[in-house]
Homo-oligomer: A and B are copies of this chain.
Amino acid sequence: MAYHHGDLRRVLLEATAAAIQEHGVAALSLRDLARRAGVSHAAPAHHFGDKAGLLTAFAAAGFEELATALAGDDFLEMGVAYVRFALSRPAHFEVMFRPDLYHADDPALLAARAKSSEALYGEDTDKTAGQAGWSIAHGFATLWLSGAFPGRDQDPLDLARALFRQLNPGYSQ
């Protein structure tokens, strides 16, 4: 077999996203990831310690990308960007908010999560309005991904925009 794959860590993280989108987090298996990457069954554990370690890195990457996606937008478009991220990276989004799946005290993860919080709350003057916007964005994204939200023929981003406009004036342009 080929030793020193060279890029295994990145390949495994990409395979994780694919595997979760295909069969859900519940069915995620380190051995399946190893098969997808063409390495032995114990190779993933070397890079991430254990399964929770893999998902820790996976969630951290998600928070990093979310922080980038949120940067620089106004209130309403930031909410839309939040939903857009959740729908385009559903596997990351799901793992990120299930701390029972990973090592929630990991420094890299905490730093990445702080970055997204910064992007969400950084310049916000009205804390409660920001929390309401975050709740709408998160709730809508979660419900949409779980299939529970009605109106599945419409564009979810348009739907999200309509929901944000239900908030008090000043944010509803």
What residues make up the interface of A, taking CB atoms closer than 8 Å to B?
23-27, 97-101, 104, 113, 128-129, 131-132, 134-140, 142-143, 146-150, 159, 162-163, 166-169, 172
Contacts and interface: CB of A to CB of B under 8 A. Distances in A.
A167 B159 CA distance: 16
Contacts of A104: 147
The A interface, classified by DSSP as helix, strand, loop or mixed, is: helix
User: So how many copies of this chain end up in the complex?
Assistant: 2
Nearest to A113: B148
A146 B98 contact: yes
Contacts of A159: 131
Contact of A129 (B113, B134, B147, B166): B166
The 3 closest A-B pairs by CB, nearest first: A139-B139, A24-B100, A135-B139
Contacts of A135: 135-137, 139-140, 143, 163
